[in-house]
Structures are given as C-alpha cells and as structure tokens.
Amino acid sequence: MSEGNYASKRKKPATSDLQIDPSLLLAASDAAILPVAEYPSPQHYQPGQYQLTPQRSLDHYQHQYYPASNIPMPLPVYFRLHPHSSTPLPAKSIWLSILQAPSVTQLRDLAMREHPGTVVHKLEGLVLHRAAGAGAGAGAGQDGRDVVVDIANDEELGAYLTHAKSSSEQGAGQGKPTFLVLLGPGEGACYV
C-alpha cells in the first residue's frame, strides 16, 4: 500500500470521540504536583573537548521548601485498638498520647509503649465521613461514619494530620487525630 493511500485511509477521530480520563483531570488540579526547578543538563566528558564557558554556580537557583505539614507540635493523638489485635490482658481499647514530631516511627513507638511486648502490624488514620446534606446540628454526629486511611510513611501521616487540622478549623470533622492500630505479639513475647 502506498504512503498516500495509507494517509487517506486513516480516520481522524472526531472531537466528540476524544475523552480525558477523570483521574488525569484530578492529577492536573492536585496541589502536590510542584514545579521543578530547571537545572543545567550534565555535561559528559569527551577526550579532547574543553569547556570554554565558565561554570555557573547552582547557588543562583531558588529552592523552595514545601513542608509535609504545618501541624504544631507536640500534638495530642488518640489511639484505638483494632478489634483483631492480639495483646496481653488487660488491654486499653482507647488511649491518648502526645506526638512530638510527625513521624510514623514515633507514632508506632507510642502505640507499642502502651502495650509492651507488641508490634504494630497496621496503622490507619480515622476520618469522620458525613453523609451529603448532614448539617452541623445536634444529630450530625449520628449521620457520620469512620473511614480508615492507611498510613505507611511520613508523607501520608503529614497529609492525614493536615486534613484533621483543616477539618477542625472548618467545623467539618472531629479535628482530633485518631489512629486505629493493629497490634500483635512482638519477638519473644508469649501471651497466656
């Protein structure tokens, strides 16, 4: 088939046939996508090639710092024991601790400190989800349900803490960071 015939056989899609994936639209509006500063491309050494232009210092590039969260520390946080947790008796099902830094490692340590001899198998943040149209009246808390959000790293923890803070400021949520922890026996622990 000649090239001219091939070009004439190709069908151009109508503009109504083109659709944009909704997830791409969400990604385009995501504030987490930050502009990247331009850096000079690396120069590879080749024998016999001399650089005649002076090297520019990287100091003139502006570096912006975007903190993971602007949560004031120390911060009181609540823990709820997951119903499938395996802990020595007696076990507290809910307790309060003070988080000194937005760190998953410290959060896990706080959970295990209350239940010695255990390890954290899963850490989740609780978000109160209210049904559409549920007002802030007296019965609004009854219309809400807890939604769990997995927290595996410091960035996810920062996002969760920021959400909890903004929810309390807007009156849209409980505003109290609450974590659901699944605990199990640690190394060498034996429960009777």
Model confidence over 120-163: pLDDT tens digits?
999 999 988 766 655 544 444 456 688 999 999 999 999 999 88
Walk me through the domains of the chain, giving residue ranges and CATH numbers.
Answer: 75-132+139-185 (3.10.20.90)
Q: Average pLDDT for residues 99-128, to the nearest whole number? A: 92
Tell me the pairing of strands 75-81 and 178-185.
parallel
133: left (phi over 0), alpha (psi -120 to 50) or beta: left
- Look at residues 94, 92, 61, 52 and name the one whose alpha carbon lies nearest to residue 77: 94
Proportion of the chain above pLDDT 90, given as a percent: 30
Residue 165: pLDDT above 60? yes
Closest CA to 127 of 101, 146, 99: 146
**What percentage of the chain carries pLDDT values higher than 70?**
48
| First-to-final CA distance of the chain | 80
In terms of pLDDT, which residue wins out, 42 or 157?
Answer: 157
Interatomic CA distance for residues 108 and 154, integer angstroms:
12
CA–CA gap between residue 184 and residue 58 (Å, rounded)? 50
Stated as kind and residue range, the H or E segment containing 169 is: helix 154-170
Q: Residues 7, 11, 15, 19: is their CA dihedral positive or negative?
A: negative
